[in-house]
Amino acid sequence: MTRKRPHRNFLGLEPPLSDYDTAQAIIIPVPYDRTMEWRTGARNAPRAIIEASDYLEFYDLELKTEIHRVGIHTTDEINAVTGGPGRMTDRIYRAVKPVAASGKLPVVLGGEHSITFGAVRAVLEIYPGLSVLQLDAHTDLRDEYLGGRYGDACVMRRVSELCPVIPAGIRSSSFEEQEYLVSQKRRPLYAWEFDSDGKSTERVLKMLTDDVYVTIDLDVFDPSVMPAVGTPEPGGPGWRVVLALLRRVSRAKRIVGFDVVELCPDEGPAACTYLAASLTYKMIGYALAGG
């Protein structure tokens, strides 16, 4: 029997700003981490992020607005199902589809990266011209891993079979994944290619379609900024670099959904969870409050 946790709202919002009917952003917590191998604990991330969000300021200095005024509703957690990540993606799909269909912004808080596939499936049915911006240290393009095809090591392979994927921040990949990229004539934006003059950002924008889903694996950040992830990789970008890319994307394209995944709260200082909460709030601002 699954014990239901007390419901908490992102930012501690109260009605009417937390009401589903009037909210423009819908937080969907997915505490799932069954295919993570090394450092687990991402199942605790959604609740930790929501708790940390209580301490965010409503006013955003960069956007010069109180982002929460767009309305942010937090759903109940999407509990894990038996039968592996393939069945879990179906449950996530069913949770995200009505949110996207209503014109609201689905914001999925993981959990491990495998949850992205179900969310993208749902959003793609509403926005058939969708492309996906993947911010990640790893390509996650294995066709199969440890006997499964829907775990976090395979998630972007499954997503790429649905719609275009543009990876950015990559600095770790297997030989198999590199062969796949070559066969698809795709080239990620590697972490060392981020620059200050905007050329790398323009390259990403040219590959994205008008409607964009953003998946943010928090290991995209350098471990000096974000050590609390399942598989940290050295050589990643910092906070300002990642935000500069996301804000540029939000200005040039329409962000129609996003997720924040792979936080393992117990593997780093509390600042990591606060960063994840701040990033979630900032992304809502970029998508809905005039980024």
The CATH number of the domain holding residue 136 is: 3.40.800.10
Find the domain containing 75 and state its range. Answer: 10-288
- Rounded to 10°, the helix 270-288/239-252 angle is 20
Place of tokens 């949850």: 115
Q: Quick one: pLDDT at residue 194?
A: 83
Q: Quick one: pLDDT at residue 82?
A: 64
Domain for residue 149, yes or no?
yes
CB atoms within 10 A of CB 35: 21
Q: Quick one: pLDDT at residue 41?
A: 79
Q: Quick one: pLDDT at residue 271?
A: 97
Q: Quick one: pLDDT at residue 1?
A: 39
Domain for residue 4, yes or no?
no
Residues of the chain with pLDDT under 50: 1-3
Give the distance from CA 135 to its chain's centroid.
Answer: 8
Q: Quick one: pLDDT at residue 35?
A: 60
- 3-state class of 256 per DSSP? strand
255: phi then psi, degrees, rounded to nearest 5? -85, 115
222: phi then psi, degrees, rounded to nearest 5? -60, 145
Overall residue count recorded for the chain in this entry: 291
Domain for residue 2, yes or no?
no
Q: Quick one: pLDDT at residue 144?
A: 79
Domain for residue 1, yes or no?
no
| Maximum distance among all Cα pairs of the chain, rounded to whole angstroms | 54
42, 112 contact by CB (below 8 A): yes
Domain for residue 5, yes or no?
no
The stretches of 150-228 forming alpha helices (DSSP H) are: 155-160, 175-183, 199-207
64: phi then psi, degrees, rounded to nearest 5? 55, 45
Question: Total domain count for the chain?
Answer: 1
Q: Quick one: pLDDT at residue 2?
A: 47
The one-character DSSP state at 192 is: G
Task: Give the H/E segment covering residue 107.
Answer: strand 105-110
Q: Quick one: pLDDT at residue 79?
A: 85
pTM of the entire structure? 0.94
Q: Quick one: pLDDT at residue 5?
A: 60
